[in-house]
Amino acid sequence: MILLIQYTLIFASVLTLVALGGCISEHSGVINLGLEGIMIMGALGGALTLKYISPSLPAALIVLAVIVTSMLCGLIYSLLLAIACINFKADQTLVGTALNMLAAASATVIVKTINIAENPDNVSSTVQYVQTKKALVMNIGSMQLNWFIPVAVIALIAAFVMLYRTRFGLRLMACGEHPQAADSVGINVYKMRGFGVIISGMLAGIGGIVYITAGVSEWKFEVGVAGFGFLALAVMIFGQWKPLNIGLAALLFGFFRALSNVYSGFDFLSALNIPGSVYNMMPYIISLIVLAFTSSRSRAPKAEGIPYDKGSR
């Protein structure tokens, strides 16, 4: 049971961070379907930081370095989406899909190149971070939790305050609802949408490193992040683009994802003789069921996905 709680909180943290990123981007008016790819690039930056940083450094410094690197990688990669969709008004769905495909291939090539440079016989796409991964763990009683869990909670609170209690957040949401009206009162829609995508990239980048360090001490980048970027989009829609609802939805989806990791430890589940692959599919099956029953009542930002043309009214 303790292990189930641990994994639920960790996976919920991933989904919260990435779904919040998608939420902020869509509130600005840009659909970020590239969350999966941004997660991969953030995970790559964080994993390489864990690999090369000295394990003798204080744990707090290691965690901070990993977070900053993952954020920067996510930010830089999300700029491709921002430039293509905001400056050049490209189709947001196509650009996001392209970013997802490009990320997995790019990360694999980068890791293989690094591994071959260090050892010509090593052609794997795996990054190992065994020594420094322990710095990410904090012990609370009999539970081993991840330092990224409080980071996700802080991000959740910060996103709520930013969107509903600050001038910046209100302007951001105005650009996703009525960009022409926002422009008429002096708000730079292009700039606000750019900020939305950048913040989205930073959060998704952190989500990527949280995901790959959830239970292992190495990661093979050819496998990507197993569709967690798309699962986060389901969490965002189920949460109705509201930060607090997203946090609750992330716990629900995180529970079913965690169940696939620990079901063998429960006798009553093992007695059912259900193949492990079924438990692995459960989060995605649940997302389909949930969206089928809730999508008709979903209210997305009105101007999301529509390139802004300053000359149109």
pLDDT in tens, 109-133: 999 999 999 999 999 999 999 989 9
Question: Average model confidence (pLDDT) for the chain?
Answer: 92
- Rounded mean pLDDT, 208-237: 92
Query: What's the pLDDT at 2?
Result: 83
- Tell me the pLDDT band of 313, cut-offs 50, 70 and 90: low
Give Rg (Cα) of the chain.
20
Q: Tell me the two tokens of residue 148.
A: 């990224």
- Tell me the pLDDT band of 282, cut-offs 50, 70 and 90: confident
Specify burial of residue 220 (Cβ count, 10 A radius: 0-12, 13-18, 19+): middle
Query: What's the pLDDT at 271?
Result: 64
- Tell me the pLDDT band of 18, cut-offs 50, 70 and 90: very high
- Rounded mean pLDDT, 5-10: 92
Query: What's the pLDDT at 184?
Result: 93
- Tell me the pLDDT band of 265, cut-offs 50, 70 and 90: low
CA of 237: how far to CAs of 113, 234, 300, in Å? 38, 5, 8
Task: Report the percent of the chain where pLDDT is more than 90.
Answer: 76
Per-residue b/e over 248-267, b at no fewer than 16 CB within 10 Å?
A: ebbbbbbbbbbbbbbbeeee
Residue spans per domain, the chain: 2-229
Query: What's the pLDDT at 215?
Result: 77
pLDDT in tens, 89-102: 999 999 999 999 99
Cβ atoms 221, 104 nearer than 8 A: yes
